[in-house]
Amino acid sequence: MEALFDNCTDRMRLRDELSREADASFQEQAEQSAGAVLASWWKHPRTTAESGTPTKWLAALPGVKVEVHCQCSAEVAARRFLDRKRHAGHLDDRWSHAQLLASMREQASLGPLGLGSLVIVSTESIPDMTAVLEQLAAEFR
């Protein structure tokens, strides 16, 4: 995939196409699974933002659904986004810090997706995973 990025003249178009293909594959695999943990940057149903994995299909999945909603300040989220290193084909550098911070604030204001039971985890710092796993186990009982 990264070689495709390297040889493409219209990287935004290619990035968008590959993203849609990845979302479709992700959905297909989840629908064929007997049970799974799905992790993504979800496109919130109440947002007008273009990025994120679509969510409409999640409600139709069978079985128990538990949403783990990770919360941290927009400032921390923006810093983590800028500090990560991914292939240039993802075009992460297309946002200024101010644009990214505004986007993170908007996303944070939307709250959880509203699918199934809810476990909220503060990720401002490293969470207590034992406590998180206990909460999740309680939701699946």
pLDDT confidence bin for 9, thresholds 50/70/90: low
Residue 54 has pLDDT above 70, yes or no: yes
12 token code pair: 């935004």
pLDDT for 70 equals: 95
% of the chain at pLDDT higher than 70: 92
The set of residues, in sequence order, having a beta carbon less than 8 Å from that of 35 and lying 6+ positions away, is 63
Within 10 A of 77 (CB to CB), how many other CB atoms are there? 21
pLDDT for 92 equals: 77
Is residue 109 within 8 A of residue 73, CB to CB? The reply is no
pLDDT confidence bin for 94, thresholds 50/70/90: confident
**Dihedral angle at the C-alpha atoms of 29, 31, 136, 77, nearest 10 degrees?**
60
pLDDT for 76 equals: 96
Distance CA 138, CA 56 (A): 26
Residue with tokens 């710092």: 125
Phi/psi of residue 121, each to 5°? -125, 125
85 token code pair: 């290193």
Distance CA 1, CA 92 (A): 16
* Of 8 and 53, more confident: 53
Q: What is the pLDDT of residues 96-126, one digit of tens each?
A: 999 999 989 999 999 999 989 999 999 999 9
pLDDT for 17 equals: 87
Phi/psi of residue 94, each to 5°? -75, -10
Q: Once rounded to an integer, what is the mean pLDDT over residues 23-36?
A: 92
% of the chain at pLDDT higher than 90: 58
pLDDT for 6 equals: 63
Distance CA 118, CA 123 (A): 15
Residue 62 has pLDDT above 80, yes or no: yes
Distance CA 141, CA 137 (A): 6
